[in-house]
Structure 1
Amino acid sequence: MKQTETASFLAVIKTAYPYFEITVPVTKLWHQMLADIPYEVAKERLGKHIRTSKFAPTISDICTEEDTQPSFYELQRAEEQAEALALEEYNQQAVPMPDHIRERLERLNARMRLNHES
C-alpha cells in the first residue's frame, strides 16, 4: 500500500469512527504494517469491519483474514449433499433383482404370511 493510499484508508476510518485519532506516529505505524497488503484488499476488509463493528479497527483486524472455517451446519449440509450424491450414483448403477430371486422371495413371503395368520 502506498503512503497516499494509507492516508486515504485512515481518512475512511476517521469518517466511520469519529473518535479515531490520526497522528503522524499512527500514520507511520499503519503504513508500515499495511505496506504488504494491496489497497483493494485492505479497503474490502475495512468495509466488512465497518459493517459489523461499532469500534474502530485495529491493525490486526485489517491484516488478518477472517476465519474461513465452515460452521457445523455448513459441514453437515455438505455431508448430506455428498451422501445424496453417493446414493443417486448408486441407484444409477444398481442392477435390478433377477426374476428367479424375486420369485423365490415372493414365495417365501407368502409362506411366512400363511404361517403368521395361522
Structure 2
Amino acid sequence: MTEEQSLEILEHIAAAYDHFKLSEKRVNVWSEQLKNMDFKGVLHNLNKHIGTKKFPPTIADIAAKLPEKNKFLEEQKDWRQEVQHARASGNQKTFMDYLSPDIKAKYQPLIQEEK
C-alpha cells in the first residue's frame, strides 16, 4: 500500500469517527504498518468495521495481508516452458533424462528391471 492509500484509510476513519484525530505520529505509525498490506482488503475490512462498531479500529482490526506468491507454481511454469522449448527444437528427452545423476544411480536397479 502506498503512503497516499494509507492516508486515505486514515481519512476514512477520521470521517467516520469524530474522536479519531490525525496527528503526524499517528500517520507515521499507521503508514508503517499498512505499507505491507493490501489496500482493497484493508478498505473492505474498514467498511465492515464502520458498519458494526462504534469505536475506531486498531490496525489489527482492519489488517489485510497481501497474498504470498506461490513459488512452486512459478517454477512449474518455467519448467514447462523449458520443456516446450526443448521439444520444439527437436530435443525429445524423457522424464529420466531430467533426473540428476545421483537419483539415476540410486534407482538404476529399478530402471533396469522395467526394461
TM class by shorter chain equals: 0.5 to 0.7
Normalization by structure 1: what TM-score? 0.52
Counterpart Cα distance in 1 of 2:63 and 2:52: 16
Aligned mates of 2:34, 2:3 — CA distance in 1: 10
Q: Which one-letter code corresponds to 1:8 in the other structure? A: E
* Structure 1: runs of 5+ lacking an equivalent: 66-118
Q: Distance in 1 between matches of 2:9 and 2:24?
A: 14
1:64 to partner: Cα distance: 6.3
- CA distance in 2 between counterparts of 1:41 and 1:31 reads 15
TM-score (norm 2): 0.54
Match of 2:30 in 1: 30
Instruction: Tell me whether 1:20 sits opposite 2:20 in the alignment.
Output: yes
Distance 2:18 2:10 in 1: 11
The code of the aligned residue for 2:56 comes to A
Give 1:63 shift. 1.7
Identify the structure with the greater helix proportion. Answer: 1
Residue identity opposite 1:48 in structure 2: K
**Cα distance, 1:23 vs structure 2:** 0.5
Structure 2 unaligned spans of 5+: 66-115
Cα distance per residue 1:3-42 (max 9 Å; x no partner): 0011111011001001101101100100111111111010
The correspondence of residues 13-92 of structure 1 with structure 2, limited to 5 A, is 13-63=13-63
The answer for the alignment partner of 1:80 in structure 2 is none
- Give the aligned CA root-mean-square deviation in angstroms: 1.4
How many aligned residue pairs are there? Answer: 65
Q: Report the AA paired with residue 40 of structure 2.
A: E
Structure number with greater Rg is 1
